[in-house]
Structure 1
Amino acid sequence: MLSPSLEDYLEEIYRFLDQQGYVRTTDIADKLDVSLPSVTKAVKKLSEKGYLDYERYKNIQLTKKGQEVGNFLVTRNKLLRDFLHVIGSNCDKYQEAEAMEHYLSQKTVDAITCLVAFFKQHPEYQQDFFDFQEKFMNTESSQDNSQDDFNLLIKRYESFD
């Protein structure tokens, strides 16, 4: 099992290799906004765990295990961005998906996959959801999304029990 930090490194390595066929430690450092020594340390750990083939001053390569897990991580991230789109979340989907992805169980990811696929297959139900969401969320709210606004939403939610 990888830490969230190592997942981020592996995910970006996979993306770089997929998009441009090679990856340099400087690419990863720039993308993740970390220092080169941090990248080197993470790459060494991923290599020790069998996700990468890495030798100093050589190209970083994914092992079969690294390709499989990297693909899973990239796919999970896209799924979560799709989920946020499907539910009409008005947020920075990249940041939100990044915040969520490391803390969901596989069963939850599977359920989200099913929900996203359902809405993609049945856009009419997605529109029904958006209509419901608009009515549910439509409150005389203040500009700052205050605690009172949240409490009102909670009361509406609890009324469905």
Structure 2
Amino acid sequence: MRKKTVEEYIEVIFALEREEGRATTGRIASEMNVKPSSATEMLQKLQKEGFLQYESYAGATLTESGRRLALELNGKHEAIADFLAIIGVDRAVAERDACQIEHHVGRETMERLERFVEFAGHFPDRPGWMECFQKYCETGRVEDCDQCPCGKSGNESPPAFGSPERRI
């Protein structure tokens, strides 16, 4: 089974359980944009993996293992969407992109991203360097900025992607 597909089914079932009290095969199929027979096949596989309990015509219920995975995925999604919003991505776009990214990001990257989001949350007013970043996104230039600790002037171009100077 593809990891992304498994995770998407778990997320859909989790959401349906929260919103509707249960996750029927028909609703799961509709949300996943697949035929009910395809959803049934996947639900049976997920049951064998221990993520859910499945009964024909009754639908699926997440097991403790499935619920843990769903909560982990929810946390990843929220952190990624928050990160994207912090760096200026429109919230609707951030939510959509988080749905794709969450299935591919590794643990180390995710932990660092979560720490960044937590850190940024300590500053209700955007720090000066974030304002400088916003200006950079708009203009492509590093502006002279009293608040920015980078010490760069607007005349300097950043090193090109892939160049040794760009390494952090």
For 1:48 and 1:78, how far apart are their aligned partners in 2?
29
For 2:67 and 2:2, how far apart are their aligned partners in 1?
14
Q: Helix, strand or coil: the match of 2:7?
A: helix
Structure-2 residue corresponding to 1:107: 108
Q: Helix, strand or coil: the match of 2:39?
A: helix
TM-score by length of 1: 0.80
Structure 2: give runs of 5+ residues left out of the alignment.
Answer: 141-155
Letter in 2 for 1:84: L
Report if aligned partners of 1:77, 1:98 keep a CA contact under 8 Å in 2.
yes
Structure-1 residue corresponding to 2:10: 10
Q: CA deviation at 1:2?
A: 6.0
Letter in 2 for 1:25: T
Letter in 1 for 2:19: Q
Q: Mean alpha-carbon deviation: is it higher for 53-62 or for 126-135?
A: 126-135
Q: Mean alpha-carbon deviation: is it higher for 43-52 or for 88-97?
A: 88-97
Larger Rg: 2
For 1:40 and 1:88, how far apart are their aligned partners in 2?
40
Give the number of equivalent residue pairs: 146
Q: Helix, strand or coil: the match of 1:43?
A: helix
TM-score by length of 2: 0.77
Report if aligned partners of 1:43, 1:54 keep a CA contact under 8 Å in 2.
yes
Structure 1: give runs of 5+ residues left out of the alignment.
Answer: 141-154
Structure-1 residue corresponding to 2:63: 63
The superposition leaves residues 99-132 of structure 1 with CA deviations (integer Å, 9 ceiling, x where unpaired) of 21111111111111100011111234x3424311
